Amino acid sequence: MSSIERKPIERRQFDTLIIGAGGGGLRASLQLAEADLSVAVVSKVFPTRSHTVAAQGGMNAALANVLDDNWHWHMFDTVKGGDYLGDQDAIEYMCRAAPKAVYELEHFGVPFSRLDNGKIYQRAFGGQSQNFGGAQAARTCAAADRTGHAILHSLYQQNIRAKTHFFDEYFAVDLLKDDSGHVLGAVVFNIQDGQIVVIEAKTTLLATGGAGQLFKTTTNALINTGDGMGMAMRAGIPLQDMEFFQFHPTGIAGRGMLITEGARGEGGYLVNGDGERLMERYAPKAKDLASRDVVSRAIYIEVKEGRGCGPKKDHVLLKLDHLGEEVIQKRLPGIRQTCITFLGIDPAESPIPVYPTAHYTMGGIPTNRFGQVVIPVKDTPEEPVQGLYAAGECACVSVHGGNRLGGNSLLDILVFGRAAAKHIIDYLKENKYHKALDEEIINRVVDKVKRFDQQGETSSTGAETVVDLRNELKQAMEDHCGVFRDKDILKQGVEKVEQLIKRMKNVKIEDQSFTFNTAKVEAFELDNLMAVALATIHSAHAREESRGAHSRVDFPERDDKSWMRHSLYSFENGLDYKPVRTKPISVESFPPKPRVY
């Protein structure tokens, strides 16, 4: 491939720039476009190919259509599910807003599944209870097994109608930030032809999704590389609670693909190599519907103690065959075909081999419940960064605390996408004009966009390839920062990640063309993954307790006295901590209790 010169840099101005066109980004952009603001949405893939499309299980809201329910019980479950690390003001806000978020989606055209009486069908998911920890609740609304798809497509259509400006297949590299700390937009490039565009904006919202690609075995698509988190870190913003990474208990063993919790919600259960229903021992009450970290850990222990299944005893089995072909075909058709396609196994006849798989990034860019990115400044733990917002999986508002409940993420992205937009609308009333943007700031960021340009065939030092480094990083994270962790394993992991980051400087990209140069895109993505990995493994190494998804063999108990606080990790300052907001908006706080299911 011959390398050609880049075209001259283009400059554009908008009231708001949104980076990311998943459910979080599109909910926000819709609100803003409807308020007659000029909104640009940048997405590295076509918007309806965003990862939100993969969410099958559904979205939580206490509608009480199937069983008695209310937002306060939902709030309790979320606080408890998050192992008391969630911020209770944000959790109250989200749970109260949930029913309205569902009704809104209905107005936008999402075809929710119905009960015979015409009301929205709600299924039981792990971690849902009535009466503050009592009987199982049924809180998850779904559009068959394509909820994410239905939400994403409806939101996209609404945005087209509202005249949101889309930059499809543009890759955002870095934020523009002036010396006073204001964020003034971002620099992006067109993946198709390499054209660099400087997008100036009075407000910028990061909605770039999660970072599942950190791990070798994951449910996440290839696009989930934590780009927004990497951008934030390079702009001097710490990442919060990154040690809390959710491993979904039921990934297809060895492959990573998700078998949704819905399968257990419909009556499926796990068995070990002795044919025993293992969850009866670990969670006598909730059994197979206990919270995800509890189930993941149970599977890990069974396998580690030699009670796994298969020739290598390296997984357990998820049994569905007793449900009968009709129920499986009607309620879980996607799962059935996934198993047939990738494993050659029909779950209506044989059980599915499963093992925990990296699924959800609880941590992220710290925000308050208005979506503003907040950082510690002197004695204030949460000072808003002017002009910068974050929402969705890339953010940590912290509603999920140490562990997210199934069905709470779609809710999170919609509620806080909307909340961020509301705050932006108010902010723009006070801040009507674009701040001056120095050429020097632009040049600084444009240089970063060109950082992989000169290292083609001619570079003599470039010896590393993106593919090798990425594989090594994912393996290192899997081995050293997985379901079970201890000091030595983590320490070795920290060293490995730091080494990999050094080696990243010598990365070589052979293809220096500008047309669909995915090699270059992958280099930027890997750079982001490296930053996220560093924050994750340092935070995990430092946290000497077990809480939610962060499970330390050497510190098996939760330690509220020392560790009921949020971790923050930045390139500049390393680790720092801030208190959990335990005070809700209008109700009493839920004090920490042992988390038993």
Residue 334 binds: one of ligand FAD, another protein, none (C-beta under 5 to 8 A by kind) = another protein
Of the pair 103, 342, the CB lying nearest another protein is at: 342
Concatenating the DSSP letter of every residue in 408-458 gives HHHHHHHHHHHHHHHHHHHHHHH--SPPP--HHHHHHHHHHHTTTTS-STT
409 in contact with ligand FAD (CB under 6 A)? yes
- Give the residue with the Cβ less far from another protein, 38 or 113: 113
Cβ 392 vs Cβ 23: under 8 Å: yes
Instruction: Give how many residues touch another protein by CB under 8 A.
Output: 38
Site for another protein in 461-520 (CB under 8 A): 510-511, 515-516, 518
Judged by phi (left if over 0) then psi (alpha if -120 to 50, else beta), residue 436 lies in beta
Q: Give the Cα separation of 441 and 182 in Å (integer).
A: 12
Options 292, 470, 485, 558, the catalytic residue: 292
> Of these, 4, 222, 463, 585, which contacts another protein (CB under 8 A)?
222
171 is in the binding site of which of another protein, ligand FAD, none (Cβ under 5 to 8 A by kind)? ligand FAD
DSSP E strand stretches across 109-221: 122-123, 140-141, 165-168, 170-177, 183-190, 196-206
Taking the C-alpha atoms of residue 586 and residue 337, their distance in angstroms, rounded to an integer, is 46
Binding residue (CB under 6 A) for ligand FAD from 19, 235, 328, 500: 19
Residues 218, 252: Cα–Cα separation, whole Å: 10
Helices and strands in the chain, H and E counts: 16, 20
Q: Is 255 annotated in the active site?
A: no
Residue 448 · residue 173 · CB < 8 Å: yes
* Least distance from another protein to the Cβ atom of residue 456, Å: 13
Least Cβ distance, residue 392 to ligand FAD (angstroms): 2
d(CA 242, CA 402): 10
**Which range in 36-44, 93-101, 367-375, 558-566 contacts ligand FAD by CB under 6 A?**
36-44
Amino acid at 243: E
Question: Closer CB to ligand FAD, residue 381 or residue 417?
Answer: 417
CA dihedral sign, ordered 536, 537, 538, 542:
positive
CB 222, min distance to another protein, A? 5
| Cα distances (angstroms) measured from residue 96 to each of 73, 91, 415 | 11, 8, 10
Find which of another protein, ligand FAD, none residue 160 binds, CB within 5 to 8 Å per kind. Answer: none
Cβ-based nearer residue to ligand FAD, 71 or 563: 71
208 scored as a contact of another protein (CB under 8 A): no
**C-beta of 292 vs 480, nearer to ligand FAD:** 292
Q: How far apart are CA 289 and CA 454, in angstroms?
A: 53
One-letter amino acid of 310: G
**Is residue 141 near another protein by the rule CB under 8 A?**
no
**Binding partner of residue 146 among ligand FAD, another protein, none, CB under 5 to 8 Å per kind?**
another protein
Q: What does the longest C-alpha to C-alpha distance in the chain come to?
A: 71
Q: Please report whether residue 20 would count as binding ligand FAD according to CB under 6 A.
A: yes
Torsion of CA 183, 186, 187, 188, to 10 degrees: 170
- Would you give the distance in Å from CA 458 to the centre of its chain? 38
CA atoms within 13 A on the CB side of 371: 34
Q: Does 371 bind ligand FAD (CB under 6 A)?
A: no
Which one of the spans 62-70, 109-117, 234-242, 405-413 is the region binding ligand FAD (CB under 6 A)?
Answer: 405-413
Is residue 387 near ligand FAD by the rule CB under 6 A? no
Question: CA Rg, the chain, in Å?
Answer: 23
Q: Is residue 410 within the footprint of ligand FAD (CB under 6 A)?
A: yes
Residue partners of 489: CB distance under 8 A and separation at least 6: 479, 480
- Per CB under 8 A, which of residues 329..358 are in contact with another protein? 333-334, 337-338, 340-342
CA dist 26 and 44 (Å) reads 14
Q: Three-state SS for 319?
A: strand
Query: Could you give the string, one character per residue 251-270, with x where binding to another protein holds by CB under 8 A and - elsewhere?
Result: ----xxxx------------
Segment 229 to 258, residues that bind ligand FAD, using CB under 6 A: 258
- Binding region for another protein (CB under 8 A) out of 145-153, 425-433, 459-467, 489-497: 145-153
Using the rule CB under 8 A, which residue among 16, 31, 48, 567 binds another protein?
48
Binding to ligand FAD (CB under 6 A): which residues in 157-196?
171-172
Does 146 bind another protein (CB under 8 A)? Our answer is yes
How far apart CA 497 and CA 477 sit, in angstroms, is 8
Instruction: Detail the DSSP E strand segments found in 313-422.
Output: 316-319, 352-361, 365-366, 372-377, 380-390, 395-396
Span 517-576, contacts to another protein by CB under 8 A: 518, 521
Residue 220, both tokens: 């996440």
Nearer to another protein, 157 or 431 (CB): 157
Question: Nearest-CA neighbor of 196 among 172, 177, 231, 229?
Answer: 172
For ligand FAD, the closer of residues 25 and 381 by Cβ is: 25
Number of residues this chain uses to bind ligand FAD (CB under 6 A): 43
Site string for ligand FAD, 37-76 (x = CB under 6 A): -----xxxx-x--xxx-xxxxxx-----------------
Nearest one of 78, 251, 45 to 152, comparing CA atoms: 45
22 binds ligand FAD (CB under 6 A): yes
Q: Which does 227 bind (CB under 5 to 8 A by kind): another protein, ligand FAD, none?
A: ligand FAD
3-state secondary structure of 109: coil
Read off the amino acid at residue 296: S
Q: Judged by CB under 6 A, does residue 531 bind ligand FAD?
A: no
- Pairing type for strands 316-319 and 372-377 reads unpaired
Closer to another protein at the Cβ: 162 or 221? 221
Q: In whole angstroms, what is the distance from residue 597 CA to residue 503 CA?
A: 45
Nearest distance from C-beta of residue 597 to another protein, angstroms = 28
Q: Which residues are catalytic?
A: 292
Residues forming contacts to another protein in the complex (CB under 8 A) are 44-45, 48-54, 146, 149, 152-153, 169, 191, 218-223, 255-258, 333-334, 337-338, 340-342, 510-511, 515-516, 518, 521
Residues forming contacts to ligand FAD in the complex (CB under 6 A) are 19-25, 42-45, 47, 50-52, 54-59, 148, 171-172, 207-210, 219-220, 223, 227, 258, 359-360, 392-394, 407-410, 413
